[in-house]
Structures are given as structure tokens and as C-alpha cells.
Amino acid sequence: MPSRKKTCMFASAFCTCVSSFVVVCVVLATPQWVSSEVRYSRTGSNVTISLKYGLFSGTCEQFVDAGLQVSKTTFQVADSLSSTRTRGLNVATIVVLVLALLSSLLSSGFTCTNAVSNPYQTFLGPVGVYTWNSVCGVLILIAMILFPVNVEGNRLSQELAHSCSTPLETHIGSKHSYGYSYWIMLLIVFLNVASLIIIYFYDHARYSKKKEQERPIENAPKDVILF
């Protein structure tokens, strides 16, 4: 059985890993990734398309001239994308987040295993926790890069605006505001770092204790040597 200190440390890391898993689920499930206002001009009027969407679904509102709302619709992101680049990056972001979800699940399993037992395999110990938490954190950072690249670089909002509105003409400008579904990914990174720090302190304390027990006999007290 593991010591009480090991159980407490790995139980704390288990809580952070489970929290990371839950937050990744929230990120995937909620559509509040970005709010965009895309402005167009057409004969006799200006049109503003207001979009709120995530990786899977979103809502679209159309305003004409002085704020007159014409319609509000719900759309599926995958069905509204015609460009290979935007669709590819959207799928890549989903895949990266699913991999992060699996990594956080593995981290939870490893920390739980170490909290209740002493696995013989090295990879099932702190090394495994370091690995999967690091992988999860890196994947989250990649997702945080891919999505803005798709929005800003590939003009994802403009493509979605064309698919959920009447024919539009000249694009005047766009404004984007990223929502909580995007920014809480920073919390996932923080939780993974917290898990790494907890396991590092446990591993460092265990290493120091092991070195203390392996001190050469010349460092022992003289009365012990004489005895």
C-alpha cells in the first residue's frame, strides 16, 4: 500500500486531472467560442451578420441598416463550410481536443492508480503522469492556436455568414470577440501544470529521502562508526 503522503499527493493530482477532463468536455460541448459581426454593403442598404458559434453549431442574426433584425437562425458549422481549408482546420481542432480529452483521462487513471497502489512499472508512476499531462497541455495550446488561425486567417466567420444569409455583396469589415468556451482552455493548461507541480514535489521529496538513506558511511556520526 502507498504511504499516506503519496496517497494525498496523488489524490490531489487526480482531482486536478479530473477537473481538466471535465473542462475539456465543456469546451467541446459549448458553442460560445467566438462572437463575430460581419458587415456587408449591398444595393440600398448595409447588412450586419451577427454570429455566435463553436466547433459544431452556432446562431446567426441578420440586421439591416439601423438595427432592424431580419432573421435569427441556428446552423451546423460542418454543413455550412464549403472551403477545404476552413473545414480541415475545424476538424483538426476537434481532433486535437479529443486527443487532449483522452490524455486527461489517462492522467486521471494514472494518478488514481498511484493513489491506491504502488505500480511496479516505471511508466505507470510519476513518469506516466508527467507524460500525459504534458501531452494534454501541449494539445490544448495547439487548439488555441488553430481556432484563431481559422477565424482570422481563413475568414471562417465570413464563410458562415454567407451560408446563413441572403446574397451579400461587398464586405466592409469584421469584428471578432472570443468567448468563454475558448478562454477556459487556459484553465485546462493551468490544471495540467498544477498536476505536474504536485507530482514533481512528491518525486523530489522521494528522491531526496532515497539519497539520504544511501549516504556513504563516512558521512555518518563518529559514535556510530565507532560502534
Domain boundaries, the chain: 4-205
pLDDT surpasses 60 at 79: yes
Q: How far is CA 197 from CA 25, 202, 213, in A?
A: 23, 9, 24
Q: What's the CATH class of domain 4-205?
A: mainly alpha
Q: What value does the mean pLDDT take over residues 171-183? A: 90
User: What per-residue confidence (pLDDT) applies to 226?
Assistant: 44
User: What per-residue confidence (pLDDT) applies to 52?
Assistant: 93
129 contacts 8 by C-beta, under 8 angstroms: no
User: What per-residue confidence (pLDDT) applies to 227?
Assistant: 42
Residue 189 grid cell: 493548461
Work out the pLDDT band at 98, boundaries 50, 70, 90.
Answer: very high
User: What per-residue confidence (pLDDT) applies to 3?
Assistant: 73
pLDDT digits (tens, 9 = 90+) for 14-71: 999 999 999 999 999 999 899 998 888 877 778 888 899 999 999 988 887 755 666 7
Residue 19 grid cell: 477537473
Order across the sheet with 34-42: list the strands: 68-76, 57-64, 45-53, 34-42, 170-178
The set of residues, in sequence order, having a beta carbon less than 8 Å from that of 205 and lying 6+ positions away, is 5
Work out the pLDDT band at 225, boundaries 50, 70, 90.
Answer: very low
Residue 200 grid cell: 514533481
Interatomic CA distance for residues 153 and 174, integer angstroms = 12
Residue 15 grid cell: 482531482
Work out the pLDDT band at 135, boundaries 50, 70, 90.
Answer: very high
Q: Given the DSSP bridges, would you call strands 34-42 and 68-76 parallel, antiparallel or unpaired? A: unpaired
Interatomic CA distance for residues 221 and 225, integer angstroms = 7
Q: Given the DSSP bridges, would you call strands 34-42 and 170-178 parallel, antiparallel or unpaired? A: antiparallel
Mean pLDDT of the chain: 83
Interatomic CA distance for residues 50 and 59, integer angstroms = 8
Lowest mean pLDDT among 99-108, 152-161, 190-199, 204-213: 204-213
Q: Pick the most confident of 83-87, 210-214, 219-223.
A: 83-87
pLDDT surpasses 90 at 138: yes
Interatomic CA distance for residues 140 and 138, integer angstroms = 5
102 contacts 139 by C-beta, under 8 angstroms: no
pLDDT surpasses 60 at 203: yes
Interatomic CA distance for residues 144 and 42, integer angstroms = 35
pLDDT digits (tens, 9 = 90+) for 146-155: 999 999 988 8
